[in-house]
Amino acid sequence: MPADGTDYTAQLESLLEQAHAKGVRDPRVLQAMRQTPRHLFVPESHRLYAYIDHALPIGEGQTISQPSLVGQMTQLLELTGNENVLEIGTGSGYQTAILRRLCGRLTTIERFPRLTLQALRNLQPLNLPPITFVIGDGTCGFPPYAPYDRILVTAGAPPKVPQPLLDQLSPDGGKLLLPFGSRQYQRLTRITKHGTRLRAKIFGECMFVPLVGKYGWKSEELEG
Ligand code: SAM
């Protein structure tokens, strides 16, 4: 039983059933979600709602993503266990934990230092293999560990895909998954790179907090 005395097992299983009903069918992804109790990533003020399939506030005006969407995005990355992965938008660390169970190497970038510190605290009880945490502008990628087999952007990008992310994607079938479009809603898009050729596939609409940075939305564009 967790330290706060609540047994969340039944709620977690019910959440997994909802994720399954919404298309998360990969047993490895479902197992990674099962091993990642979401209440560890939700602020105490909202812990009651940790197993409801909704995004929730985590501070700095940001959110922990909707769990079924986290599952769907992870599934779309088609991870086999060995990939070098870059995540942009650490947030609470919830998606980070799930990714780390399914890939070979993980680097995650967050623009708010306070969220990175909080994510480090949230992840501690899970004893996961090493993860590289970077505080900075993820729209510039992270060149030291490029090329990446997979890049996952967990914030809504403007209509032009950040060029550094395309440049840092492996030409050997690398996949970049990102929501991009307008401020109000985005299209979940997967771009696959073979050599210099890029192919995009769209997987439906979603709503994310904005990707803010040099190759993302500018802070001024978001005011008002
Ligand atoms: N996947 C996270 C989780 O499960 O908690 C939620 C991520 S939240 C929807 C999006 C995150 O992207 C926010 O924490 C936000 O601060 C971050 N973000 C936005 N623009 C960024 C940028 N240019 N570089 C790094 N992080 C950024």
Is ligand 1 within 6 A of the CB of residue 32? no
What pLDDT does residue 221 have?
A: 76
For the annotated catalytic residues, the residue numbers are 65
Atom 19 of ligand 1, residue of closest alpha carbon:
211
Atom 18 of ligand 1, residue of closest alpha carbon:
89
User: Does residue 3 have a pLDDT over 60?
Assistant: no
Structure tokens at 50: 């940790």
Domain-located, residue 218: no
Domain-located, residue 154: yes
Mutation test residue for ligand 1: of 15, 53, 63, 96, the one with most atoms within 8 Å of CB: 63
Q: Report the percentage of the chain scoring pLDDT > 90.
A: 91
Domain-located, residue 70: yes
Q: How many folded domains does the chain comprise?
A: 1
pTM for the whole structure: 0.96
Please state the rounded mean pLDDT for residues 15-19. 97
The ligand 1 atom at the shortest distance from the C-alpha of residue 89 is: 12
Atom 15 of ligand 1, residue of closest alpha carbon:
89
Is ligand 1 within 6 A of the CB of residue 74? no
What pLDDT does residue 21 have?
A: 97
Domain-located, residue 112: yes
Alpha-carbon distance 181 to 189, whole Å? Answer: 10
Is ligand 1 within 6 A of the CB of residue 96? no
User: Does residue 222 have a pLDDT over 80?
Assistant: no
* 120-162 tens-digit pLDDT: 999 999 999 999 999 999 999 999 999 999 999 999 999 899 9
Residue 205: which H helix or E strand, with range?
strand 197-206
Provide the domain limits for residue 175: 9-213
Please state the rounded mean pLDDT for residues 18-28. 97
Domain-located, residue 1: no
Contacts of 79 (CB under 8 A, 6+ apart): 28, 85, 99, 102, 103, 150
- The neighbouring-strand residues paired with 22 are none
Is ligand 1 within 6 A of the CB of residue 98? no
Alpha-carbon distance 93 to 218, whole Å? Answer: 24
User: Quick one: DSSP state of residue 47?
Assistant: G
Domain-located, residue 52: yes
Alpha-carbon distance 35 to 179, whole Å? Answer: 26
Residue 164 belongs to a domain with what CATH number?
3.40.50.150
Atom 1 of ligand 1, residue of closest alpha carbon:
95
Domain-located, residue 133: yes
DSSP letter string over 177-203?
EEEEE-SS-EEEEEEEEETTEEEEEEE
Please state the rounded mean pLDDT for residues 217-222. 82
User: Does residue 210 have a pLDDT over 60?
Assistant: yes
* 77-128 tens-digit pLDDT: 999 999 999 999 999 999 999 999 999 999 999 999 999 999 999 999 999 9
Q: CA 59, 74, 85: angle at the middle one, nearest 5? A: 85
Is ligand 1 within 6 A of the CB of residue 116? no
Alpha-carbon distance 32 to 200, whole Å? Answer: 27
User: Does residue 32 have a pLDDT over 80?
Assistant: yes
Please state the rounded mean pLDDT for residues 168-182. 96
Domain-located, residue 199: yes
* 36-67 tens-digit pLDDT: 999 999 999 999 999 999 999 999 999 999 99
